[in-house]
Amino acid sequence: MKKDKIIVSSADSKYFFLLKELFLSLEKSGVLSEYQFAILDTGLTEDQKKYFLDNFAIIKEAIWNTPVPKYKILGRENLKTQVARAYLPDYFKNYKLYIWLDADMWLNDVKSFYLYEKGALNNKLTIVPQSDRAYIKNANVEWLFGFPKNIKTINYKNISKSISKSLGRKYAFHSTLNAGAFAINNNDKIWECFKKNIKLAAKKGRIFGTDQVALALTIYEDDAPSEFLPAYCNWMCEFNMPKFDNDKHQFVEPYIPNHPIALIHLAGLDDIRQDKNILSDVETLDNLIIKKSLRYNV
């Protein structure tokens, strides 16, 4: 029987092991008994694709859904999914719920993860802003004679370079919406708005960050119905290290009530993404420091 909910990720051959860990974390939790798992392929080998096909995944080759000048791509075919994620219903038709997950994350707590489903099935674009009490510094501003000389926020940089400085200033201090994990139901209006903004954000050929620009405009500029989930639904370890609950054998947010983290996100941690054997100093809930990998323990 065909499942009516789908989780989609993407990878090239270099990200195969991260994608595999995401898949195994979802499988072990039981989520894949309800969800189809699918992949937008940006350069997996035949053997790597066979592994997922043997495990009942659907694989589609990612394409440049939005025209981008070749001189801007420079062989970075993995960037296709910066725009392709706005076209998930075109790749995988007739699902009632779509969840996008970057390959450099894995499922740590299933109960918190299901908040994505709850929000999306309530007809809202469900996503996590990169704002939290544990993320101490969200912006940099250079000052000159008491006046701001240079604004350094992700929204300002990405929107200014992709579209215009005036629009960048408008949303400079709005929360960045993390495009690594989001959920949308089969609401055509939300998807069409997302596509419109992907095309606008990619128009100048600045591909990296196109997804976050488009999501910001879809919610902030076009007022698409949205549900903002707490940071523990998509935890950016780069911003602050989680703690570990030895009793429950799972990562939790670093401040009380130490809520379990849904998705451990390794964005920005290039060394850890490349080497699973790297151990980090992690504090436990009983105030001990242990050496532990942030990667999924298969």
Whether the predicted pLDDT of 15 surpasses 90: yes
- Would 276 be classed as within a structural domain? yes
In whole angstroms, what is the distance from residue 89 CA to residue 85 CA?
9
Residues 152, 18, single domain; the answer is no
Per-residue pLDDT tens digits for 194-219: 999 999 998 877 778 899 999 999 99
Print the domain residue range for 102.
5-132+175-232
- Would 209 be classed as within a structural domain? yes
Residues 20, 105, single domain; the answer is yes
In whole angstroms, what is the distance from residue 262 CA to residue 106 CA?
8
Give me the numbers of helices (H) and strands (E) for the chain, helices first please: 11, 16
Both tokens of 26, joined, read: 């979802």
Whether omega before 257 lies within 30 degrees of 0, making that bond cis, reads yes
Whether the predicted pLDDT of 92 surpasses 80: yes
Q: Write down the pLDDT at residue 160.
A: 87
Annotate 9-23 with DSSP letters as a single string.
EEE-GGGHHHHHHHH
DSSP code for 77: G
For the question of whether the overall pTM of this predicted structure is more than 0.75, the answer is yes
Nearest Cα neighbor of 282 from 228, 255, 243 is 243
Q: Compute the average pLDDT of residues 265-292.
A: 96
Q: At a CB cut-off of 8 Å and minimum separation 6, what does 47 contact?
A: none
Question: In the chain, how many domains are there?
Answer: 3
Whether the predicted pLDDT of 139 surpasses 70: no
In whole angstroms, what is the distance from residue 91 CA to residue 248 CA?
38
Residues 165, 191, single domain; the answer is no
Burial of 256 (0-12, 13-18, 19+ CB in 10 A): exposed
Q: Compute the average pLDDT of residues 186-198.
A: 96
Q: Write down the pLDDT at residue 91.
A: 98
Least confident of 102-111, 131-140, 206-215: 131-140
In whole angstroms, what is the distance from residue 6 CA to residue 243 CA?
30
